[in-house]
Amino acid sequence: MTLQSEIFEQPARLSDLLGNQRLTAEKIAQTIRQHDIRWVFLAARGTSDNAGRYANYLWGAQNRLPLALATPSLFTYYNQPPQLKDALVVGISQSGQSPDIVSVLAEGRRQGCLTLAITNETGSPLAGSADLVLDIQAGVEKAVAATKTYTTELMAIAMLSAALSENKLFWQQLGKIPGWIETVLKQDVPIARMAERYRYMRQCVVLGRGYNYCTAFEWALKLKELTYVVAEPYSSADFRHGPIAMIEGGFPVMAVLPNGMVFDTLLEMIGKLRHEQAAELVIISDEKRALSLAQSPIPLPVDIPEWLTPIVSIVPAQLFAGHLTRAKGFDPEKPRTIGKITETN
């Protein structure tokens, strides 16, 4: 298996996850309701941390659950964990091996909290520390850069949201995700040609907001770990507060702006970057108004509900990063310095 083949596995993996783990998600949701959970405390690192950013928006908006992202060093080096009363303590990790994430769940359990592991390894230390386990069922992922484990983490988070909502429409919408991703994957060759344009790129910014704040971070991470580009992710709101001053003629800006509640504010910014600051734009969107501003437009299927767009919109970003890696003459299977499993304390 290669990075490219694992990207193309995603529709099948997501379909299997939805079919095989819906009952598990519904049972977990029932247990959560029985415990009168008031908020969520979530620990993750790297790609899984970006999945946590998605949960922050989705569980907050759709399930009215406030979510705090953990600072694991408080549990390890400082040994001063916060009070977690009434929290659902969640750990997200592809490998389930990182001691600092395990320590958060272990402390949550010690404080009497309900704990949940979302992982690809049900025999891992993280799973062993949890009361509840949701297996993302991504299969073996050999590429160092996570692709299918990320989208299956997002799907697991979305499935839990649907189960907590007890809304049949949400499950129907989830069932359309594999087909939407299949449509995106048909753009592989055009995206490969597009990536050639950026083979000398050394730095860029990546913009997203709302549900796709996580997509901006994950796209930037893929560019950093595969192409070694200095890629800085921002919410468009934060970007306006200072960093926008970096942009000058030809400066590369990657942006994710599917239709939704934050579309208009993002579109306004992208228009300013193109017309007033002459930025070089790569845009992922399902809206012609946004795509028409880009030197490099990447269309999404139309009519994806906003809450599900991060699961689909990251796929063209994965393709772009993989093809740019090859265009720069690097090996996407062997990114320098990093390995598949990173254990932090």
pLDDT in tens, 155-207: 999 999 999 999 999 999 999 999 999 999 999 999 999 999 999 999 999 99
Confidence of residue 316 (pLDDT cuts 50, 70, 90): very high
Gyration radius (Cα) of the chain, Å: 19
Residue 176: the pLDDT is 98
H-helix segments, the chain: 3-34, 46-63, 99-110, 125-128, 148-165, 168-174, 177-185, 188-196, 213-222, 236-240, 263-275, 288-291, 309-327
Residue 192: the pLDDT is 97
* CA 166 centroid distance within chain: 24
Confidence of residue 344 (pLDDT cuts 50, 70, 90): low
Superfamily per CATH, domain 179-327: Glucose-6-phosphate isomerase like protein; domain 1 (3.40.50.10490)
Residue 342: the pLDDT is 57
Average pLDDT score, the chain: 94
Asked if domains 3-175 and 179-327 share a fold, the reply is yes
* CA 233 centroid distance within chain: 13
Mean pLDDT in residue range 21-45: 96
Residue 269 token pair: 């910014």
Quick check: 286 and 314 in contact, CB under 8 A?
Answer: no
Residue 10: the pLDDT is 98
Residue 116: the pLDDT is 98
Choose the weakest-confidence range: 31-45, 83-97, 268-282, 327-341: 327-341
> CA 321 to CA 296: how far, in whole Å?
14
Confidence of residue 27 (pLDDT cuts 50, 70, 90): very high
Mean pLDDT in residue range 17-29: 97
Mean pLDDT in residue range 79-94: 94
Dump pLDDT digits (tens) for 225-250. 999 999 999 998 888 888 888 888 99
Residue 301: φ, ψ to 5° = -60, 145
Judge whether residue 25 has pLDDT over 60.
yes
Judge whether residue 211 has pLDDT over 50.
yes
Domain 3-175 grouped into CATH 3.50.50.60: no
Choose the weakest-confidence range: 26-30, 270-274, 332-336: 332-336
* CA 335 centroid distance within chain: 20
> CA 273 to CA 269: how far, in whole Å?
6
23: left (phi over 0), alpha (psi -120 to 50) or beta: alpha
Dump pLDDT digits (tens) for 5-16. 999 999 999 999
Residue 341: the pLDDT is 55
Dump pLDDT digits (tens) for 99-151. 999 999 999 999 999 999 999 999 999 999 999 999 999 998 888 889 999 99
Domain ranges of the chain: 3-175, 179-327
Judge whether residue 72 has pLDDT over 90.
no
Q: Tell me, yes or no, if the pTM score tops 0.85.
A: yes
Quick check: 81 and 43 in contact, CB under 8 A?
Answer: no
Dump pLDDT digits (tens) for 323-342. 999 999 998 888 876 664 55
Residue 294: the pLDDT is 97
> CA 218 to CA 189: how far, in whole Å?
22
Residue 340: the pLDDT is 45
